[in-house]
Amino acid sequence: MDGGVSQVDSFDPKPRLDKDHGKPFSAKINPTQFDNIGTTFKSPWAFKRYGQCGLTVSDIFPYIGAMADELCVVRSMTSKFSEHNSANFFLHTGFGVQGRPSMGAWMSYGLGAQATDLPGFVVLNGGLVPSGGWDNFGNGFLPASHQATVFKTGKEPLADIRPRESRLERRRPNSVC
């Protein structure tokens, strides 16, 4: 969910944030491009437990609670990367640097394609390029056929898919005949 809601505002409440709200952050944090200044900030949303499983869901998602027993929420993922670019590379490739194959590329490479005239995997782009760019979905050192095909919103969802105009078609609007 690149660019999505923070976990502490959605499905993973942190009582310590409530307790320390407004106080200076006490943990030692390595400096990043963001300078790590300010105070501890609690989630502005309340949380409730839903379903037989007791899934904790914030008020941001008022209708998700009804489906709590149908959901799987993973709260055990961690990363040593605090900056978005490296964290995105890690999320999509398993490594915090550019140049490695994405999960989609490995799936395409390992499982093969169902059809040779279709892409191995696609990325649905809602208009934003994620931190780290398109390398998040790249083929790395695998053959180029395992790179993502990006579907965009708008008139042309696929780049370079229209046939080229012939010389005659390009010249026709400028001709005097």
Token code pair at residue 100: 């490695």
What mean pLDDT comes out for the span 75-86? 82
Residue 99 in domain: yes
Residue 100 in domain: yes
Q: Which of 109-123, 130-144, 153-167 has the lowest mean pLDDT?
A: 153-167
Give pLDDT tens digits for 8-67. 999 999 999 999 999 987 777 776 666 666 788 999 999 999 999 999 999 999 899 999
Per the model's pLDDT, the better-predicted residue between 116 and 111 turns out to be 111
Mark 78-110 as b/e (b = at least 16 C-beta within 10 Å).
eeebeebbbbbbbbbbeebeeebbbebbbebbe
- Predicted pLDDT at 172: 64
Residue 39 in domain: yes
Token code pair at residue 40: 């501890």
Half-sphere exposure of 138 (CA within 13 A, CB side): 16
CA distance linking residue 27 with residue 22, whole number of Å: 14
Q: Helix, strand, coil shares of the chain as percentages rounded to 5?
A: 30, 10, 65
Residue 24 in domain: yes
- Predicted pLDDT at 176: 62
What domain range is 56 assigned to? 7-70
Residues in a beta bridge with 48: 57
Provide the number of structural domains found in the chain: 2
The span from the first CA to the last CA of the chain, in angstroms, equals 56
Record the pTM. Answer: 0.61
